[in-house]
Amino acid sequence: MDPESLCIDSAMYETEIPRNSLRPYQGLPDARDLKAFIPGTVVDVRVREGDRVSAGQVLLLLDAMKMHNEVCSAIEGRVAQVLVIKGDRVEKNQILVRLDAAV
């Protein structure tokens, strides 16, 4: 693959695009499925099925690497399913909560 020129703050750089980055576009993740971004343990679930949520609202806490991480809604909507309970061990990319988008 031929190197590409890149200019940053008037400095020129030569770079190559790795072949694996040229795979077909997979689309954006579905904001209605809240997934674990890291393996961990569910510390607290703050919503129930049927609850209305707003964008940025904390839906649960996930303990990972000795830190409590807030898992927040990216959209406004209603909780369709809560797929975990306090104490559950979860894997990376596991769906934790499913939302129905606000109409």
Q: Which amino acid is at 101?
A: A
Tokens in use for 49?
């099925």
Q: Does the structural domain 26-101 have CATH classification 2.40.50.100?
A: yes
* Overall pTM surpassing 0.75 (yes/no): no
The reported pLDDT for the residue numbered 1 is: 43
In the structure, what pLDDT confidence band is assigned to residue 23 with cuts at 50, 70 and 90?
low
The reported pLDDT for the residue numbered 85 is: 97
Query: For residue 49, which of 99, 102, 95 has the smallest C-alpha distance?
Result: 99
The reported pLDDT for the residue numbered 15 is: 76
Query: For residue 70, which of 55, 89, 53, 57 has the smallest C-alpha distance?
Result: 57
